[in-house]
Amino acid sequence: MKDEDWMLDTVEVWAIALTDLKITRTELFTAQRKSMSLEWPPTAPADFLALGRTETANNYPDMRQEYLAAAQGNYKHEVTLETANRVGEWQIKTQPESISYKSWQKHYPEVCKEHSEGADFKVPETHRVEHSHTPVQAGSEADKRISEKLAELRRLSA
């Protein structure tokens, strides 16, 4: 096999891989620009794509901080909640970090990309009943019943 044949095969394999990874035109151009300044060029299509996808993720909260927040059940940003859903909230809380964070690293940029392209992920609103406490008024009917119950308990404990 000639050297030229290897280059054509490599181009074809990379084209298939990048198409399967759903690379966008913007990501392609960004990755091309960034790869020119690297000491070594990317050796795998996924590494090349990662150069283009970091731009999108940079507009969102830090990946590591959001992973730690999700592990505590704290979803401040909609991409955090959606990523936790894809990874699995139970997996994040119960699996070793070496396993769950690896999955988080895979899904977080994808979710950020989808969100930047218009996908709508919502953090559900929590509805809580406000606590209200009305102190017992001295001499009221409730105060009399409480005093009676206390007296009864004192008699029983003596």
pLDDT number for residue 95:
92
Distance CA 65, CA 122 (A): 19
Q: Mean of the pLDDT values across residues 20-46?
A: 83
Predicted local confidence at residue 50, as pLDDT = 81
pLDDT in tens, 51-104: 877 656 667 888 889 999 999 988 888 999 999 999 999 999 999 988 998 899
Q: What does the pLDDT read at residue 116?
A: 82
Q: Which pLDDT score is estimated for 84?
A: 94
pLDDT band at 32 (very low <50, low <70, confident <90, very high): confident
The dihedral built from the CA positions of residue 25, 26, 31 and 32, taken in this order, carries a sign that is positive
